[in-house]
């Protein structure tokens, strides 16, 4: 019997309808150009350029030498769960039982497990637009439906609580919150979070992605658990502690969701790596000075990027004060920011992320990451400025032709 191979290995609708992660497409094209000998300034990827701090690395190395290379409890080691709870009390004044903490393979694992535990086919998940690029794909993978609420730059890309209220239905299972935010770098105000809790807490699970907590340069970031105990906090060690390659995260859950998430963990991942958990304890207890040093460097870079953008007449309407991103409006140059970002890469040798990676309302924006050295950022922004000046000249000539001839050639 002859079988149709394409039919036998048919890709699922969930995957075939999934958009690629554009920042990785940019990064991969940039790497190809570098292999050709091009000098590329990287302002696309959201990864700390610092090495993992020494106390953390040393703890991880000791753990490997001590044989900490086996499975742990599916919820994670109690030592790390207690350290996470202690960190929440120290930073936010919130008492959390370690029994509510589940240690995961990255914060992505935490989000996947949490959504898998609460979503049925057709369940709705509310999120801002723009949003972290992968959110809709997590929801899709879990059978849910993303409900994207447009947010405005003039309002700091923050939720309108009334829009959230109107979006909630009996099928809404979760509201995703990300503060400090990727891609905008905006820290949601405490007042806005209070209003969001009043609207959503009790009607849907507020899942607060707090992976960039600690990377705040003015004021403080509020944890959702300061305002609503029946919420979930997704976080991890990648950003604040420069531990992206360690693949370790956690979620703090309402008690009733711990067992469902644990069952999923047991079946899908078994447990997070033991030696990485040992290193994470060191991160939470021994790396404060290293974290503060990195935070000050990021802030210096942030100020440089904002200053240079203002000189290009590209100032943000609301200044980003968290994470390591600036979401800049370039709509006067293009109505196709995807193609525009790749033109910048090819012609100016600067890698940036097109705003449409983060949702339809990211059209007209570029995300610039300042997780790079001051020297490289200066060079990258100088290249970007030269590129944009050329675009200004082209637009000016086109405008003059239009004025003279009454049409654009």
The span from the CA of 383 to the CA of 377, in Å, is: 10
Give me the mean pLDDT over the 177-202 stretch.
97
* Cα–Cα distance, 156 to 384 (Å, whole number): 24
| Whether the predicted pLDDT of 190 surpasses 80 | yes
pLDDT digits 0-9 by tens, 129-173: 999 999 999 999 999 999 999 999 999 999 999 999 999 999 999
Q: Band the pLDDT of 393: cuts 50, 70, 90.
A: confident
Q: How far apart are CA 368 and CA 213, in angstroms?
A: 19
Residue 7 has pLDDT above 90, yes or no: no
Proportion of the chain above pLDDT 70, given as a percent: 94
CB atoms within 10 A of CB 3: 7
pLDDT for 156 = 94
Question: pLDDT of 314-351, one tens digit each?
Answer: 999 999 999 999 999 999 999 999 999 999 999 999 99
Query: Tell me, what's the pLDDT at 377?
Result: 98
The token pair at 268 is: 């899908």
Q: Report pTM.
A: 0.92
Of 153, 154, 155, which Cα lies nearest the Cα of 183? 153
**Residue 13 pLDDT > 90:** no
Say if CB 340 and CB 388 are below 8 A apart.
no
Q: Report pLDDT digits (tens) over 47-85.
A: 999 999 999 999 999 999 999 999 999 999 999 999 999
Q: Which domains does the chain have, with CATH numbers?
A: 5-50+290-405 (3.90.1150.10), 54-287 (3.40.640.10)
Residues 96, 281: Cα–Cα separation, whole Å? 17
Give φ, ψ of 19 to 5 degrees.
-75, 150
Q: pLDDT class for 398, splitting at 50, 70, 90?
A: low
CA-CA distance, 329 to 318, in Å (whole number)? Answer: 12
Model confidence over 15-26: pLDDT tens digits?
887 778 889 999
Separation between Cα atoms, residue 87 and residue 185, nearest integer Å = 23
């Amino acid at each position: 019997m002859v079988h149709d191979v394409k039919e036998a290995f048919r890709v699922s609708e969930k995957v075939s309808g999934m958009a690629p992660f554009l920042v990785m497409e940019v990064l991969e094209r940039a790497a190809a150009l570098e292999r050709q000998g091009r000098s590329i300034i990287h302002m696309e990827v959201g990864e700390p350029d610092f090495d993992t701090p020494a106390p953390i690395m040393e703890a991880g190395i000791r753990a490997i030498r001590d044989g900490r290379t086996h499975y742990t409890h599916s919820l994670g080691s109690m030592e790390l769960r207690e350290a996470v709870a202690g960190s929440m009390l120290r930073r936010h004044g919130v008492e959390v039982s370690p029994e509510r903490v589940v240690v995961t393979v990255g914060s992505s694992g935490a989000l996947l497990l949490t959504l898998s535990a609460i979503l049925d086919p057709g369940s709705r998940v509310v999120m801002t637009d723009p949003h972290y690029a992968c959110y809709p794909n997590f929801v899709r993978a879990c059978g849910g439906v993303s409900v994207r609420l447009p947010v405005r730059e003039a309002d700091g890309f923050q939720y309108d609580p009334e829009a959230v209220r109107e979006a909630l239905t009996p099928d809404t299972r979760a509201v995703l919150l990300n503060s400090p935010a990727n891609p905008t770098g905006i820290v949601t105000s405490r007042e806005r979070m209070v209003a969001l809790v009043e609207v959503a807490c009790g009607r849907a699970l507020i899942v607060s992605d707090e992976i960039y907590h600690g990377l705040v340069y003015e004021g403080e970031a509020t944890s959702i658990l300061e305002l609503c105990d029946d919420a979930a906090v997704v976080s991890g060690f990648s950003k604040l502690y420069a531990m992206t390659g360690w693949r370790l995260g956690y979620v703090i859950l309402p008690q009733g969701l711990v067992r469902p998430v644990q069952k999923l963990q047991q079946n899908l991942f078994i447990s997070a790596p033991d030696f990485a958990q040992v290193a994470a304890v060191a991160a939470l207890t021994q790396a404060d000075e290293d974290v503060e040093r990195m935070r000050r460097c990021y802030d210096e870079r942030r100020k440089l990027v904002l200053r240079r953008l203002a000189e290009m007449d590209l100032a943000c309407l609301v200044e980003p004060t968290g994470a390591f991103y600036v979401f800049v409006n370039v709509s006067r140059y293009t109505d196709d920011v995807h193609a525009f970002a790749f033109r910048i890469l090819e012609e100016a040798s600067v890698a940036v992320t097109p705003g449409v990676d983060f949702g339809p309302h990211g059209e007209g924006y570029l995300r610039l990451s300042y997780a790079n050295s001051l020297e490289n950022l200066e060079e990258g922004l100088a290249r970007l400025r030269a590129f944009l000046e050329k675009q200004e000249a082209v637009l000016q000539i086109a405008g003059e032709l239009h004025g003279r001839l009454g049409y654009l050639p």
